[in-house]
Structure 1
Amino acid sequence: MRVSIVTGGSRGDVQPYVALGNGLVGAGHEVKVATYAPFEGFVRDRGLEYARLSGDPTRIVRTLQECGRDPVCIARRFFSELARFVEDNVGECMEACRGSDAVIYTPIGFVGSFVAQKLGVPAASAVLQPLIPTREFPSVIWPEAKVVSNDRLRGTYNRLTFSLTEQGFWQLFRFLVNGRVTRRLGLPHLPPLPTYFHKLRQRRELALCGWSPAVLPPPRDWDPWARVTGYWFLDRSEEWRPPAHLEDFLESGAPPVCVGFGSMSIRDPRITQTILSAFRSAGSRGCS
């Protein structure tokens, strides 16, 4: 089977899907990854086909970092960045996915969902965070209902957080989709309600969830089409060697503790102090 994976964003948004692609190759499939030009070498070095999508991952990360933890700012900047390239991405994605037997798309690679519809091939979403509604925990951008002791009320709250998040996202997102994606592909105009994501669940479209069930078991109210597969990690490269100064540090004492936030922007100095305090309390060592 020929599978195209459509993704974008930072290195952290691309690398897990390259690992997923390697797993599919190991299972006997042919895999192409459509993503931004700076990741071409990375994709090809891992033995996968590559297709170019217009986009600037450095600019996207920098722009979102400027918002801190302001969800309104993040949403506005995110849609603004997507809008800069989405029309080009539609044509590029069509070309990349032509001849594919299936398309896997990520949240940032959402164009892949519509291209799969146009081409008449099966599609599957692939996510790194739980985005499917459940009564067992809230949406990742909402707090837990710790003050609610009643399980039924807590479950209602949890489910409601997903509905509100999805509705808010869709009411912004649909203007971009209708104006620059479905119109260009000749697909039907999408209404305000129900959300596109709700329609995908009604279709029972396969959703691949890239985390360990030992860390977050699949909720009991999820349908079988939502599959928690385990993490998508790359195999260790036998050719890579750490820089000499890092190797010296690693060999000079006990195994260090690594604290990393990926491309997340942590600007609160109190968090840095908390990390340093934890290091001192644990008697651990680290370097930056």
Structure 2
Amino acid sequence: MRIALLTIGSRGDVQPFVVLGAELRGRGHEPVLVSGADFRGMAERAGIGFRALDTIGTDHATSVLTDPGVRAALRKGPSLYRMAAAVPRPPRADRRALTDELVAATEGVDMIVNTTLTRIGALTRSTAPWCSVASWPITATATWPAMGAPALPLGGRYNRLTHQASSALEWLLYRPEVNAGRAAAGLPKFGLGSPFRDDGVVRPILYQFSPHVFPPPPDWPARCHVTGYWSDDVRWDQPAELTEFVERGEPPLVAAFGSAWLVGGETLLAASVAAAAETGRRLVVVGGPVGDLPDHVDAIRSESADFTWLLPRAAAVLHHGGQGTTAAVVSAGVPQVIVPTYADQPMWAARMAALGVAAPPVPYSRLTASSLAAAVRAAVDDPAIADRAFALAGAVRGDRGVREAADVVESYAATGR
């Protein structure tokens, strides 16, 4: 069975699809990753096919997060809507070209797996069954409000209303592109009601996080699958000097801010160094601004690291709350200090604090050296946080994760046409 895996974004958005592709390949299928050209090597290392989206180009995520308008918006707060309004909108011709590429990439396949950003191609014109993958809860529920909506104590009706408003706003954004593509293909246009509401009802939606982190609420439909994290046993290259540094002393703090380095690298680095100095901790910086670290802290910077090896050896991990990094830290079973910067990161930061495995979040818009140092102390000085983090890691390791996701894909491909 030929299966197209369509995703765009940063490494954290793409790597889970590569893991899914490797699982499907092991089951005898022919998965093809469809994404920005940056990720060809990742697909090839996993032994799966690859097709580049030329309209995305290289360093797409970098260009968005380094845009001055986006940076200015995120300094005010992590609002997803403020960030979306600040992102430069591509010309209409470029948006149409991307939709056409998404459609072309699925010609002749037996099954399509989309993100919530790439499903516009399937809605435009698709002859194969398809499902979506989401990195955070998006299905309507009375249990909690939509991401980005105020968490007001107004009950289930209010929570459902926020989901309806969020869905309507999303469809308002995508409807012109989808309907233009459908008209060009001779298909009827969609009305005001969002077809995205069918995700989890008519077709599956795969949630790539653990039910031990976000248990599915009782009012979610049956085709919402909270599978567990999509992880693998692949080991990443790590410089020998990093291994030596970690092994020669007390467990260090690990600053791993991923894509958030692009937004405020110098600010995040300075705060991390100051927090290490104030708490007397050693420091490992993964990624971040190029340059020497100050001499007054026992620290090392590495462009790459094997998180499977490194993170369990940390006293605490300082990170941005991206879904992929959060999954890695949860699986490592160590305390967390989260500086949420944009998109879904505030939600994951709040969830980790609620589970008792992280200090209270330190939002990027209010980040200072002293606030980060206080959060580090809260995380590493409370043994209960370490105990809960260790227990949560043991629970999520019992999830079937990518195997359950592959089961759903295979089943729907056989029955969902």
* Interval of TM-score (by shorter of Structure 1 and Structure 2): 0.7 to 0.9
Contact 2:2/2:111 (8 A) holds in 1: yes
Q: How does 1:124-139 map to 2 (within 5 A)?
A: 124-139=131-146
Cα-Cα RMSD: 2.6
Task: Quote the residue 2:62 is aligned against.
Answer: 58
Aligned counterpart, 1:48: 48
CA distance in 1, matches of 2:62, 2:186: 32
Query: Structure 1, residues 70-101: CA drift from partner, whole Å, max 9, x if none?
Result: 44432334581495633222332233211211
Structure 1 contact 16–234 (Cα < 8 Å) conserved: no
Q: TM-score, normalised by structure 1?
A: 0.83
Q: CA deviation at 1:269?
A: 5.2
AA matched with 1:256: P
The percent of aligned pairs where both chains have the same amino acid is: 31
Partner of 1:252: 248
Structure 1 Cα separation of the partners of residues 160 and 122 of structure 2: 25
How far, CA to CA, are the matches of 2:63 and 2:93 in structure 1? 11
- Taking a change above 3 Å as real, the CA distance of residues 66 and 44 of structure 1, as seen in their structure-2 partners, is farther
Deviates more, 1:161-170 or 1:242-251: 242-251
Task: Please report how far the alpha carbon of residue 37 of structure 1 lies from its aligned counterpart in structure 2 after TM superposition.
Answer: 0.8
Partner of 2:30: 30
8 Å Cα contact 1:136/1:219 also seen in 2: yes
Match of 2:105, SS state, is helix
Aligned residues: 271
- In the alignment, structure 1 segments of 5+ residues that lack a partner are none
Q: In structure 2, what is the equivalent of residue 263 of structure 1?
A: 259
Structure 2 Cα separation of the partners of residues 79 and 20 of structure 1 = 31
- Taking a change above 3 Å as real, the CA distance of residues 27 and 138 of structure 1, as seen in their structure-2 partners, is farther
Q: Confirm whether residue 236 of structure 1 aligns to residue 234 of structure 2.
A: yes
Establish whether residue 122 from structure 1 lines up as the match of residue 123 from structure 2.
no
Where does 1:1-288 land on structure 2 (aligned, <5 Å)? Answer: 1-53=1-53, 54-55=55-56, 56-63=60-67, 64-68=70-74, 69-78=78-87, 80-81=89-90, 85-114=94-123, 118-145=125-152, 148=153, 153-179=154-180, 181-192=181-192, 194-200=193-199, 204-237=202-235, 240-264=236-260, 265=263, 266=341, 267-268=364-365, 270=367, 272-280=369-377, 282=380
Runs of 4+ aligned residues of structure 1 deviating over 6 Å after TM superposition are none
Change (3 A) 1:210 1:200: closer
Instruction: Note if contact 1:209-1:227 (Cα within 8 Å) is conserved in structure 2.
Output: yes
Question: Residue 139 of structure 1: CA displacement?
Answer: 1.2
Unaligned runs of 5+ in 2: 264-340, 342-363, 383-417
Q: Which AA in structure 2 matches 1:197? A: F
Conservation of the 8 A alpha-carbon contact between 2:100 and 2:121 = no
Q: Which amino acid aligns with 1:160?
A: L
Q: Distance in 2 between matches of 1:52 and 1:141?
A: 32
Classify 1:125/1:167 alpha carbon distance in 2 versus 1 (closer, same or farther; 3 Å).
same
TM-score (norm 2): 0.59
Distance 2:119 2:177 in 1: 11
Q: Distance in 1 between matches of 2:105 and 2:248?
A: 48
**Aligned mates of 1:11, 1:251 — CA distance in 2:** 28
Task: Quote the Cα distance in structure 2 between the aligned partners of 1:82 and 1:251.
Answer: 51
Alpha-carbon distance in 1 for matches of 2:91, 2:256: 26
Q: 1:84 to 1:16 in 2, by over 3 A?
A: farther
Q: Secondary structure at the match of 1:5?
A: strand
Q: Per-residue deviation at 1:10?
A: 1.4
Structure 1's 280 and 72: CA in aligned 2 closer, same or farther, altered over 3 A?
A: closer
